[in-house]
Chains A and B, each alone.
Chain A
């Protein structure tokens, strides 16, 4: 079974951005409002999403008003994938 969107992004964040490969992010853990991710990291995630799921997250959406948790980000991605399909 292939990993879910949340798992893939969690793996990317822990491995590449926060350098804690052994960690698994909870899907409801605040990422932006907690300060875990900053503007630099958000662009990395945006490009990762674009490359792996074919979904574009606009620059003006890279903020806490659009998503704050993996769960919210995954919903956004799924909705866009459904719209595109």
Chain B
């Protein structure tokens, strides 16, 4: 059941009707039943797996709160969560080896067995479960004593597939004190849903569909300026895809009076990488900061001077490599995370002697330059996020031809055939211009971002005149309708994590 499908809309409306008809003490049970049904539609086997992991986290949480054998229970909880991640998510990594070993022993088997059980959204589920156990262990929150509450926290359907990663304390408070959904909340929630659907269906899906199937597998076939344009398309596609998803589910959750964490805040307008990670996938970044970056920094700072290279390099680098591993147990994901770690380390170095100036107070030229450099480096890092390592290297190598002026001059020369040889010459001639539709779609994406940058609080939409709201809604619905006719709907990229 895709989040942007009519089936999902019908499901939400049916749940809303039931939710608002029952007394307030029953509301959370309506949400629990809806969440179980929602996930069972994807896979009832996965629902059982999720529920068992949730039950173990619930029971371990209670044991942790009893203050006896805390270390044992905490490690058991970590072991269960990490094992489930390895068994299900990283199956592609080890199943072929298992299959080979079994076949060598003349035991015929299918490596697809575990794949059937791969639960969608497992990575988000596991991270959330572990933070729950860490927080009880540190006495930040009390253990939840009632399993249906915990079950709902773990499986709440709007956030189940791709987050945001909620903290238990904030969420449980909301389900036990249901808020009245007034017209203002309704208006904001619907605005989020419309904005998210536009981002996903009108911007992300068409941008994704413009990428040639082999751009991230055989980049050497293409001229560098085309690769740059497609990389730009991918960068805006993944952003609009995930930000669109988050907007939709925050809007849906708002209809039930439950506020979910904001996950994106115009990340491509960040002026450095510290700011980028405060704006991109915020709930995940905060998780990494609270449970990896800070504890590691605290330990290292107690042992070494703050300017010690270990203090400067290890915390951001380790945190970002873990982030890469969370996305996938692949060398290219480690490189993606490592690059972001490296960017932050490099950025950090001048702060040891140079006065710190907040991004917004820097001279305009520095803000623009910082923004462009951050954006460009983030784009380059998307290559290993999407492609394996040899292809990443080939992609980057091909991109460097952009700066090879002699080749570019030869490429546009009337006799380029002579200079470049027939194959490369054809490449430049046939594909002389990048797909202009990419830039046409990036403009509305940037316009939405500019509006969000100037109005960080979505509630300001209530101040619009009725006419402005009507026109924006009509244009959005028309665009969604036209795009839905033209291109098939793609699954959300982050649903794969």
Contacts and interface: CB of A to CB of B under 8 A. Distances in A.
Interface residue SS majority, chain B: helix
Interface stretch (B21-29, B226-234, B298-306): B298-306
A34 B275 CA distance: 11
Nearest to A36: B358
Contacts of B275: 35
B173 interface: no
A39 B288 CA distance: 11
B353 interface: yes
A35 B358 contact: yes
B140 A40 contact: no
Interface string A42-67: 01101100000000001110110000
Interface stretch (B35-43, B55-63, B289-297, B443-451): B289-297
Contacts of A40: 297, 315, 348, 351
B170 to A, nearest CB: 10
Contacts, number: 53
A84 B467 CA distance: 58
B173 to A, nearest CB: 14
A36 B302 contact: no
B138 A44 contact: no
B140 A19 contact: no
Contacts of B301: 43-44, 47
A12 to B, nearest CB: 12
Given A39-B274, A44-B306, A18 B294 contact: no
Contacts of A79: none
A59 B294 contact: yes
A35 B359 contact: yes
A14 to B, nearest CB: 9
B360 interface: yes
B360 A59 contact: no
A39 B316 CA distance: 10
B286 interface: yes
Interface string A6-45: 0000000000011110000000000000111011110110
Nearest to B302: A47
A35 B298 contact: no
A40 B275 CA distance: 13
B358 A58 contact: no
Nearest to B297: A43
A75 B140 CA distance: 19
B390 interface: no
A43 B351 CA distance: 15
Contacts of B295: 59
Interface of B: 135, 138, 140, 274-275, 286, 289-291, 293-295, 297-298, 301-302, 306, 315, 348, 351, 353-356, 358-361
Interface of A: 17-20, 34-36, 38-41, 43-44, 46-47, 58-60, 62-63
Given A19-B354, A34-B361, A40-B351, 8 more contacts: A17-B356, A18-B355, A19-B355, A35-B358, A43-B301, A46-B298, A59-B290, A60-B140
9 contacts: A18-B355, A20-B355, A35-B359, A36-B356, A36-B358, A43-B298, A47-B298, A59-B298, A60-B138
